[in-house]
Structure 1
Amino acid sequence: MAPSHVLVPLDGSPLADEALTQALELFDCRVTVLNVVTPIDAAMSEGGVLEPGAERREAARDRATRVVERAKERATEADRPVETVVETGDAAETILEYVAEHDVDHVVMGGHGGERGELARRLLGTVATTVVSEAPVTVTVVR
């Protein structure tokens, strides 16, 4: 059965951009683009790894807005409307919550290699691995 609402989580990476291209080409339904701003752990700021402050949060939010606006422009060029959303939280958890709360019935996302750990994590990336294993809907991972 064809989906009626596809979610495309975007992080600005080439594989995520390819996931959007695939979703727009394959599915003739509602498409939502989601970017998740991940808050920096306070311990990182306290340890001196990153400077604390509103500037960093604002810069992350601005980057997220640019990512979804670029996606909207690409969709317009393909003559396809998309909804755009920016949320804050853990990427995998936020994607799964969005699926559950917004009648999403298919997720199309990029996978990332090079992560340390289990083979699946190395092949897909930690966010994609979590979404694939926990989502109650079909997940297509673009590699």
Structure 2
Amino acid sequence: MYTHILVPTDGSELSDKATQAAIELAKRLGARLHAFTVTEPYPYSPLAEAQPILPQEFLDAARSQADRFLKRVRELAAAAGVACEGSHVEAAQPWRAICERAGELGCHCIVMASHGRSGLAGLLLGSETQKVLTHCQLPVLVVR
């Protein structure tokens, strides 16, 4: 049924819960995991007078952080005996990157966290999970 599962991670505690759920599901189904993280593009214009951080510094820090997140998922999966690869992409719309990566890899489902924002906060801040649920054709298991 589900032999390839995508698990997006942002390094948060909730994301760790989704990772654990994805690992358990993969183990029970004999599936493999693909850990995935999205970082935002450099937020400052190269033409701006002031840049609090240089573009290369920003990119290096983002890559380093993404590598840490992915390494953690791979280690947890390995400890459970679950095959896991990982990848990282820079994108302005994480939900879109998640849907696209799942499709590119031929994943059968996505396991991801929801931060549980509702009401005005959910409306203003948006929900990447809600957007994945709305736009992705794959089954999505949401962990809270």
By the TM > 0.5 criterion, same fold? yes
The residue that corresponds to 1:131 in the other structure is 132
Deviation at 1:50, TM superposition (A): 4.1
TM-score normalized with structure 1 length: 0.85
Write the deviation string for residues 23-78 of structure 1: whole angstroms up to 9, x where unpaired.
111233121000112113235x9385843321111001100001101111111111
In structure 2, relative to structure 1, the CA distance for the partners of 1:59 and 1:24 (3 Å cut) is same
Secondary structure at 1:46 match in 2: coil
The residue that corresponds to 1:52 in the other structure is 54
The residue that corresponds to 1:101 in the other structure is 104
User: Residue 101 of structure 1 aligns to which amino acid in structure 2?
Assistant: E
**Contact 2:98 / 2:132 at 8 angstroms: preserved in 1?**
yes
The residue that corresponds to 1:113 in the other structure is 116
TM-score normalized with structure 2 length: 0.84
For 1:34 and 1:74, the matched residues in 2 are separated by 14
The residue that corresponds to 1:66 in the other structure is 68
Unpaired segments ≥5 residues, structure 2 = none
In structure 2, relative to structure 1, the CA distance for the partners of 1:142 and 1:48 (3 Å cut) is farther
The residue that corresponds to 1:84 in the other structure is 86
Unpaired segments ≥5 residues, structure 1 = none
Count of equivalent residues: 138
Q: 2:44 aligns with which of 37, 42, 45?
A: 42
For 1:106 and 1:47, the matched residues in 2 are separated by 45
Give the percent of matched residue pairs that are identical in Structure 1 and Structure 2. 30
In structure 2, relative to structure 1, the CA distance for the partners of 1:47 and 1:17 (3 Å cut) is farther
In structure 2, relative to structure 1, the CA distance for the partners of 1:50 and 1:136 (3 Å cut) is farther
Secondary structure at 1:3 match in 2: coil
User: Residue 115 of structure 2 aligns to which amino acid in structure 1?
Assistant: H
The residue that corresponds to 1:12 in the other structure is 11
Secondary structure at 1:67 match in 2: helix
The residue that corresponds to 2:22 in the other structure is 23
CA RMSD of aligned residues (A): 2.3
